[in-house]
Amino acid sequence: MSDVQTETPSEAEAKQIPVTVLTGYLGSGKTTLLNRILTEDHGKRYAVIVNEFGEIGIDNDLIVESDEEIYEMNNGCVCCTVRGDLVRVVEGLTRRTGRFDAIVVETTGLADPAPVAQTFFMDDDVRTKTRLDAVVALVDAKHLPLRLKDSNEAEDQIAFADVVIVNKTDLVTSEELAAVEATIRAINPMARIHRAERAGVSLSEVLDRGAFDLKRVLDNDPHFLDHDHPDHVCGPDCDHDHHHHDHDHGHHHHHHGEASPIHDAGVKSLSLRAGEMDPKKFLPWLEKTTQVDGPNILRLKGIIAFADDPDRFVVQGVHMIVEGDHQRPWRADEKRETRLVFIGRDLDTERLQRTFEACQA
Amino acid sequence: MPTVAPLDLDSHCIATAWLNDTPHFALADGVVHRLDNGHKWTEVHDGLLSACFDPDHARLITGGEDGRVTALTTDGTVETLAEIGRKWVTSVASGTQGAVGFAVGRNAYVRFADGRQREFQHPRSVEGIAFAPKGMRLAIARYNGATLHFPATDGKPTELEWAGAHTGITFSPDGKFLVTTMQENALHGWKLADGKHMRMAGYPAKVKSFSWSAKGKWLATSGASAAIVWPFQAKDGPMGKAPLELGTRGDTMVTQVCCHPTEEIVAIGYADGMILAGRFADQKEVLLRRQGKGAITAMAWDGEGRRLAFGSESGESGVVDIAS
């Protein structure tokens, strides 16, 4: 049996096809963006999974229509849902390798992004073949205040996103735009925000973000856990490099949500900071917290400094699904501190902060 | 000593079948290859998603990304049985009297031998379909259970409920039991006479392959590091009984199973491309094929049970002759 071929984990990872999830209300510009992804000369081929061929006026055999099919898993956990149709379509697409480089999943306007994202963590077959790259939310600058008033979905889509594209900025005044951005920032301090007209954002800001990749997730995210410049928004011409600012913060936490007059703070974020953690306390605490509060936690991300550990430990999660791994050694010029952000609904911020701080080494 | 005649193809093998003693290999790229005095092939679809053997007519029924359902006969003739537009045909089944069933999104269809076609709409996706071995009865796997239709009549469908997503479906060869594979790592079954439930759980992975043994006495399944073989001889099926575990390996998973047409033997295909044969009576194993480049995804015995056609994820395929 000399002809056995084994594969190293990194080779297997490299073969995983990246998946971008595109959310946004009807009229937010998803179809325009999809058309750009399908037609622009970016050197990559995308398979696109849509709910209806509808307005995509492009004949392309890599566009697959699929009925949104949400399946609850039979494990007693109410928030453990997957998109059954995606399991099937992704399996079918990935059998024919070499046809495309990446997948884009378009959700319906009213969709909850969680089942889509969870499919890429909970289904073993899907997880083997693909990896979730990022959740991108398009919002309509003019109509967002109204959307937030009459639905939870618009808020959930923003809360869930790694990238938020504020589209149709030409239809609002600069004051209105500032208010919209403050609202988005209040719901989700972790997302990168881009302004656009007619979905005209650089595709490199949308595709191949690595937002769920523990190796990349935090370093590539200029705003992650860093609220010194909460009003920093990238415009269409913004291609500067975002360095991670390392200001010396005191021991404190923020929670956002009160800042905006057009948003009732149903979803809010909680940023926690502390010194070094005891892994024997922190990891069981995180597990218990996500078990108990999982239905209310939309996203979480964090960098953990464990006592006597030379490496940074990073975590990211969706509802009850949490992943953690060592990332890289702490640099000599970095402050060894623990930072963790929860975005969720009805979070008991006082209890979370108290129990978090009790995990310190 | 078994010998392997390899056939190296270049796409994921969806199904293998013997049509008039000729092995056929249906690939995901839409081409069906055959070994008929040399290597020949026929392009059936642009993207093939589902395939099943129709033993009554020695033909291979296939469903494609192009919304077509076709029947391929051994001379390479392709007959289009149905065209449903630009949608994926994700499951196909062959029934008695030349009937063919197929699933597209939330609809199941039955096409009768005379060309008539009936549509059965469901509130949720039709994940899998199967015909009963006798009579004109179609079962579909769906979210929270299964539905039985009687396509030849206008009778009401029978609903069988069990929470969770059911993905694949099969009748026992005697028609007494209906078994589904699930999105979770389990099988579910119903005894059709009284609707009694059968839970078959404990798998470390999803069950994607199942095969009834000769006379339907056993149901072999994938989804573990061994082939899990459930006894169905008793009137309540496997309830209260432990399954056999055949071909246990420590470092890989069973991905495909295929029971021998006459003997109580199962061919077991693994994620690393190995194939073993396991005998139920004494659990003895014989190596049929060494490891290869990809998981075994399809297997079929010829009518005599002497040759086994196999295909894999990487396209490596071939025929094992166990008697030579």
Instruction: Please give the order of strands across the beta sheet that includes B177-182.
Output: B128-131, B138-149, B158-171, B177-182, B187-191, B196-200
Q: What is the rounded CA–CA span in Å between residue A92 and residue A88?
A: 6
Q: At what angle do helices A84-95 and A113-122 cross, to 10 degrees?
A: 50
| pLDDT of A358 higher than 80 | yes
Residue A138: band (very low, low, confident or very high) from pLDDT cuts 50, 70, 90: very high
| pLDDT of A238 higher than 50 | no
Q: Are strands A254-255 and B91-94 parallel, antiparallel or unpaired?
A: unpaired
3-state secondary structure A48-62: EEECCCCCCCCCCCC
> What integer pLDDT is reported at residue B274 of this predicted model?
98
Q: What single string gives the DSSP state of each residue in B246-296?
A: ES--SS--EEEEEE-SSSSEEEEEETTS-EEEEETTT--EEEEE---SS-E
Nearest Cβ partner for B88 among A4, A71, A92: A92
Contact A199, A32 (CB under 8 A): yes
The answer to whether B54 contacts chain A (CB < 8 Å) is no
Lowest-pLDDT choice from A72-76, A237-241, B110-114, B269-273:
A237-241
> What integer pLDDT is reported at residue A15 of this predicted model?
80
Q: What is the rounded CA–CA span in Å between residue B105 and residue B103?
A: 6
The Cβ of residue A150 has, within 10 Å, a number of other Cβ atoms equal to 8
> What integer pLDDT is reported at residue A234 of this predicted model?
44
Distances (CA, A) of A297 to A37, A259, B294: 31, 21, 39
Q: What is the rounded CA–CA span in Å between residue B241 and residue B19?
A: 37
| pLDDT of A344 higher than 70 | yes
How far apart are the CA of B105 and the nearest CA of chain A, in angstroms? 7
> What integer pLDDT is reported at residue A204 of this predicted model?
87
Nearest Cβ partner for A67 among B86, B105, B184: B105
pLDDT tens digits for range A267-283: 888 999 999 999 999 99
How far apart are the CA of A97 and the nearest CA of chain B, in angstroms? 8
> What integer pLDDT is reported at residue A334 of this predicted model?
85
Q: What is the rounded CA–CA span in Å between residue A103 and residue A83?
A: 15
Determine, for residues A88 and B106 on separate chains, whether the beta-carbon distance falls below 8 Å: no
> What integer pLDDT is reported at residue A73 of this predicted model?
80
- Phi/psi region, residue A31 (left: phi>0; alpha: psi -120 to 50; beta: rest), is alpha
Q: At what angle do helices A153-160 and A174-187 cross, to 10 degrees?
A: 70
- Interface residues of chain A, partner chain B, Cβ below 8 Å: 1, 3-5, 53, 61, 64-67, 69, 71-75, 82, 84-85, 87-89, 92, 95-97, 123-125
| pLDDT of A208 higher than 90 | no
| pLDDT of A43 higher than 50 | yes
Lowest-pLDDT choice from A22-36, A168-182, B9-23, B71-85:
A22-36
Q: What is the mean pLDDT of residues B271-291?
A: 97
Which has the closest alpha carbon to A114: A68, A48, A163, A160?
A160
Q: What is the mean pLDDT of residues A105-130?
A: 91
Q: What is the rounded radius of gyration, in angstroms, for the C-alpha atoms of chain A?
A: 20
> What integer pLDDT is reported at residue B217 of this predicted model?
96
Question: Where does chain B have alpha helices with state H?
Answer: none
| pLDDT of A163 higher than 90 | yes
Lowest-pLDDT choice from A23-37, A245-259, B305-319:
A245-259
How far apart are the CA of B284 and the nearest CA of chain A, in angstroms? 21
Enumerate residues 6+ apart whose C-beta is below 8 A from B218: B212, B229, B230, B231, B232, B233, B244, B259, B264, B280
Side chain identity, residue B218: W
> What integer pLDDT is reported at residue A12 of this predicted model?
58
> What integer pLDDT is reported at residue A229 of this predicted model?
42
Residue A230: band (very low, low, confident or very high) from pLDDT cuts 50, 70, 90: very low
| pLDDT of A346 higher than 70 | yes
Structure tokens at B321: 């002759």
| pLDDT of A245 higher than 50 | no
* Spacing of C-alpha A205 from chain mean position: 13
Determine, for residues A88 and B28 on separate chains, whether the beta-carbon distance falls below 8 Å: no
Determine, for residues A69 and B12 on separate chains, whether the beta-carbon distance falls below 8 Å: no
Residue B309: band (very low, low, confident or very high) from pLDDT cuts 50, 70, 90: very high
pLDDT tens digits for range B34-79: 999 999 999 999 999 999 999 999 999 999 999 999 999 999 999 9
Which of A7, A71, A73 to mutate to test binding with chain B, by most B CBs within 10 Å of its CB?
A71
Residue A253: band (very low, low, confident or very high) from pLDDT cuts 50, 70, 90: very low
| pLDDT of A287 higher than 60 | yes
Nearest Cβ partner for B164 among A66, A74, A87: A74
Q: What is the rounded CA–CA span in Å between residue B173 and residue B62?
A: 22
Q: What is the mean pLDDT of residues B221-244?
A: 95
The answer to whether B124 contacts chain A (CB < 8 Å) is yes
| pLDDT of A232 higher than 50 | no
| pLDDT of A214 higher than 90 | no
> What integer pLDDT is reported at residue B39 of this predicted model?
96
Which of A74, A88, A124 to mutate to test binding with chain B, by most B CBs within 10 Å of its CB?
A74
Find the closest chain A residue to B11 by CA distance.
A96
How far apart are the CA of B262 and the nearest CA of chain A, in angstroms? 31
pLDDT tens digits for range B146-198: 999 999 998 899 999 999 999 999 999 999 999 999 999 999 999 999 999 99
Question: Where does chain A have alpha helices with state H?
Answer: 9-15, 30-39, 84-95, 113-122, 124-129, 144-150, 153-160, 174-187, 279-293, 349-357
CB pairs under 8 A between A and B: 69
> What integer pLDDT is reported at residue B25 of this predicted model?
98
Name the residue with tokens 């900025």. A169
Residue A133: band (very low, low, confident or very high) from pLDDT cuts 50, 70, 90: very high
Greater confidence (A220 vs B224) lies with B224
Q: Are strands B244-246 and B254-259 parallel, antiparallel or unpaired?
A: unpaired
| pLDDT of B314 higher than 80 | yes
Rounded to the nearest 5°, which phi and psi values hold at A157? -65, -40
pLDDT tens digits for range A57-103: 666 778 998 889 999 987 667 678 999 999 999 999 999 988 899 99
Write the ipTM.
Answer: 0.93
